[in-house]
C-alpha cells in the first residue's frame, strides 16, 4: 500500500490558501483591539486617547465587516482541510486516527503556550478540542455532517445569543426545548434531518419572541447610558497611563484574579497595570486569568459552535464542494452570501449602536443577526475566493495571499508576537495609547509586513517554521525545510487548481 505522506506545493488547493490569507487579515484587525486595551473595553465604541476622533466610524466598520466573520472563516477552513486530509488517507496503510490525534495534540500544546505567553483569547486549543469531536464523526455521510453541523450552529445561537430581555421563564423554556431536541438526537431518537428541522423551527420562534420582548424592555428612560461604567473606566485607564500611577491601592490577590477571570469593571485597572506597567509576574497572572476564562467559555459555547462549523465544512468538502464542477454553487454562495450577510451585518451594527445610545430598539436581536451574518459572509468569501483561484486576475495579490495561507500557523502566532511586543510594557509600551483608527491601521501594516516576510521566506524554504515543526511531529519524520537545488528540464506546467491541502 502507498504510505500516507504530505503533499507538495503543486498539490495544494490554491483557493484554500487564499482564504487562509484573507482570514488572517481579518483576525489581525479584531485581535489588535484586545491586545492594545483592556478586554472589557475592546469591541466597544469607546476610545482611550483624549480627543480621539472617528471612534464610532471605526467601530462600525470593524463590527460590520470584521468582528466574528474571520474567526468563523478560519474555523470553517479547518473543517474543509480535515475532510480533504481524510479523503487522502483512504487507500493508504496509515492510521488516520493516530495521525490526526498527534496533529491535534501539537495544536493544543501550542495553543496553551500562545494563550499564556502572547494572547489570552487563543483559538488553537478550541480547534484541538473541536477537532477531536470531528474525528469521532469522520465516517458520517456528507448529508449527516451538514445537517448536524447546521443544527449545532442554530442550537448554540438559541442557547447563548438569543433571548436577551424576556422573563426568566420564557427564556428558560425555549432553551430547555432546544436542549431537549439536542438530547433526543444524541440518544438517536431523532434523525439528523429532524434535528435540523426542529432546531430551525425553534430558532424562528426565538427570533419572533426576541423582537417582541426586547423592543419593550430597552429604552432611554431605563438605560440612559449603557456604556457609562466603560467610559469611566476608559478615563481611569488614561489617567493611569499618563501618570504611571494606579488610583488608590490595588491588592493582587484572589479577588484580583477573580475580577480578571470575570472581565468586569474591576478588571480594567488591573489589566492596565499588568500590560501597561508590569512587572511580568502581574502580566502572566492577568493573561492566565483571561486564558482560563476563555477556556470556560470554550467549554460552554465556542467548542460547540466550532464543532458545528467543522461538521458543516467537512460535510461540504465530502459532498464535493471544492471540485470544479461545483463552480455554479460557488457563484451562488458569493452572490447570496454577501447579499444576505452584509445586510444582516449592517442591521446588527445599527441595532447595537442605537442600543449603546439608549434608544428604544430591539437591541436583543443584534447578537443573533451578528452571528447569522458571519455565517452568510463566510459563504460569500468562500465562494468568491474559490472563483478567484480559477482566474488569472491579480497574480501579485494572489501570490501574497497564498504565501500567507501556506504559512498560516506561523503568521497567526507571528501577529500575536509582533502586536504584543508593540503594546506591552516590556516592548514598545503602546498599550492604551493608540486610537481605534491607529489600531486598525497598525493591524493592516503588521499583516502586510508579515505577508511580505512570508513571500521572502518561501523563496528559500518549503513551508513556514511552525508548519515544518507541526508536520515533523504529525508524521514522526524529519522533513527538509530548505528547498533543494534542482536542475530545470523544461518550463513548469500551470499550478493545480484542485487537489488536497497539507
Task: Give me the helices (H) in 158-248, please.
Answer: 168-186, 192-217, 228-243
Other residues' Cβ atoms within 10 Å of the Cβ of residue 98: 11
Other residues' Cβ atoms within 10 Å of the Cβ of residue 424: 22
Q: Which grid coordinates belong to 484?
A: 533543494
Question: Alpha-carbon distance 15 to 384, whole Å?
Answer: 9
Is residue 500 within a helix (H) or strand (E), and if so which, with residue range? Answer: none
Query: Which residue in this structure is represented by grid cell 447595537?
Result: 352
Cβ atoms of 128 and 105 closer than 8 Å: yes
In DSSP terms, which residues pair with 461 in a beta bridge?
482
Question: Alpha-carbon distance 66 to 359, whole Å?
Answer: 25
* Phi/psi at 67 (5° precision): -55, 125
Mean pLDDT of the region 1-15:
65
Mean pLDDT of the region 275-292:
90
pLDDT digits (tens, 9 = 90+) for 218-240: 444 334 455 665 666 666 666 66
> How much is the pTM?
0.87
- Give the Å distances, CA to CA, from 150 to 56, 177, 192, 197, 308: 33, 17, 10, 10, 6
Question: Alpha-carbon distance 23 to 412, whole Å?
Answer: 10
DSSP label of 487: -
pLDDT digits (tens, 9 = 90+) for 130-168: 999 999 998 899 999 999 999 888 888 877 755 555 455
Residue 221 is predicted with a pLDDT of: 39
Question: Alpha-carbon distance 319 to 273, whole Å?
Answer: 51
pLDDT digits (tens, 9 = 90+) for 81-128: 998 888 877 755 457 888 899 999 999 999 999 999 999 999 999 999
pLDDT digits (tens, 9 = 90+) for 301-352: 888 899 999 999 999 999 999 999 999 999 999 999 999 999 999 999 998 8
Cβ atoms of 175 and 163 closer than 8 Å: yes
* Phi/psi at 330 (5° precision): -60, -45
Question: Alpha-carbon distance 397 to 322, whole Å?
Answer: 21
* Nearest residue to 298 via CA among 119, 154, 129, 111: 129
Question: Alpha-carbon distance 53 to 437, whole Å?
Answer: 8
Q: Which grid coordinates belong to 454?
A: 512570508
Amino acid at each position: 500500500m502507498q504510505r500516507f505522506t504530505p503533499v507538495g506545493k503543486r498539490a495544494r488547493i490554491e483557493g484554500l490558501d487564499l482564504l487562509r490569507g484573507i482570514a488572517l487579515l481579518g483576525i489581525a484587525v479584531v485581535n489588535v483591539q484586545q491586545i492594545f486595551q483592556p478586554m472589557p473595553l475592546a469591541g466597544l465604541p469607546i476610545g482611550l486617547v483624549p480627543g480621539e476622533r472617528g471612534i464610532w466610524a471605526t467601530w462600525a466598520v470593524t463590527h460590520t465587516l470584521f468582528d466574528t466573520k474571520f474567526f468563523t472563516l478560519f474555523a470553517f477552513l479547518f473543517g474543509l482541510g480535515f475532510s480533504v486530509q481524510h479523503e487522502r488517507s483512504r487507500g493508504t496503510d496509515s492510521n488516520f486516527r493516530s495521525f490526526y490525534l498527534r496533529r491535534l495534540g501539537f495544536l493544543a500544546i501550542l495553543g496553551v503556550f500562545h494563550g499564556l505567553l502572547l494572547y489570552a483569547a487563543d483559538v488553537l486549543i478550541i480547534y484541538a478540542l473541536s477537532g477531536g469531536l470531528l474525528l469521532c464523526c469522520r465516517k458520517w455521510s456528507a448529508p449527516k455532517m451538514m445537517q448536524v453541523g447546521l443544527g449545532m450552529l442554530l442550537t448554540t445561537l438559541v442557547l447563548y445569543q438569543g433571548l436577551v430581555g424576556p422573563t426568566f421563564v420564557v427564556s428558560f423554556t425555549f432553551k430547555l426545548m432546544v436542549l431537549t431536541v439536542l438530547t433526543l438526537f444524541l440518544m438517536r431518537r431523532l434523525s439528523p434531518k429532524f434535528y435540523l428541522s426542529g432546531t430551525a423551527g425553534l430558532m424562528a420562534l426565538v427570533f419572533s419572541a426576541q423582537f417582541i420582548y426586547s423592543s419593550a424592555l430597552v429604552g432611554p428612560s431605563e438605560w440612559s447610558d449603557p456604556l457609562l461604567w466603560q467610559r469611566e473606566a476608559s478615563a481611569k485607564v488614561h489617567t493611569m497611563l499618563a501618570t504611571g500611577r494606579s488610583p488608590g491601592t490595588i491588592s493582587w490577590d484572589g479577588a484580583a484574579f477573580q475580577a480578571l477571570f470575570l472581565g468586569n469593571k474591576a478588571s480594567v485597572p488591573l489589566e492596565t497595570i499588568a500590560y501597561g506597567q508590569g512587572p511580568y509576574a502581574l502580566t502572566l497572572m492577568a493573561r492566565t486569568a483571561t486564558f482560563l476564562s476563555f477556556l470556560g467559555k470554550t467549554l460552554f459555547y465556542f467548542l460547540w459552535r466550532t464543532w458545528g462549523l467543522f461538521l458543516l465544512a467537512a460535510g461540504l468538502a465530502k459532498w464535493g464542494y471544492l471540485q470544479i464542477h461545483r463552480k455554479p454553487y460557488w457563484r451562488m454562495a458569493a452572490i447570496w452570501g454577501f447579499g444576505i450577510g452584509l445586510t444582516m451585518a449592517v442591521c446588527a451594527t445599527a441595532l447595537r449602536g442605537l442600543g449603546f445610545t439608549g434608544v428604544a430598539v430591539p437591541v436583543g436581536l443584534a447578537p443573533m443577526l451578528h452571528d447569522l451574518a458571519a455565517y452568510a459572509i463566510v459563504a460569500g468569501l468562500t465562494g468568491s475566493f474559490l472563483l478567484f483561484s480559477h482566474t488569472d486576475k491579480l497574480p501579485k495579490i494572489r501570490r501574497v495571499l497564498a504565501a500567507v495561507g501556506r504559512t498560516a500557523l506561523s503568521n497567526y502566532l507571528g501577529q500575536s508576537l509582533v502586536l504584543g511586543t508593540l503594546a506591552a510594557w516590556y516592548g514598545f509600551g503602546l498599550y492604551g495609547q493608540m486610537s481605534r483608527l491607529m489600531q486598525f491601521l497598525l493591524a493592516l501594516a503588521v499583516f502586510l509586513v508579515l505577508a511580505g516576510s512570508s513571500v521572502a521566506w518561501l523563496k528559500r524554504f518549503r513551508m513556514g517554521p511552525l508548519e515544518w515543526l507541526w508536520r515533523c511531529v504529525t508524521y514522526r519524520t524529519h522533513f527538509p525545510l530548505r528547498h533543494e537545488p534542482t536542475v530545470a528540464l523544461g518550463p513548469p506546467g500551470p499550478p493545480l487548481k484542485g487537489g488536497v491541502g497539507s
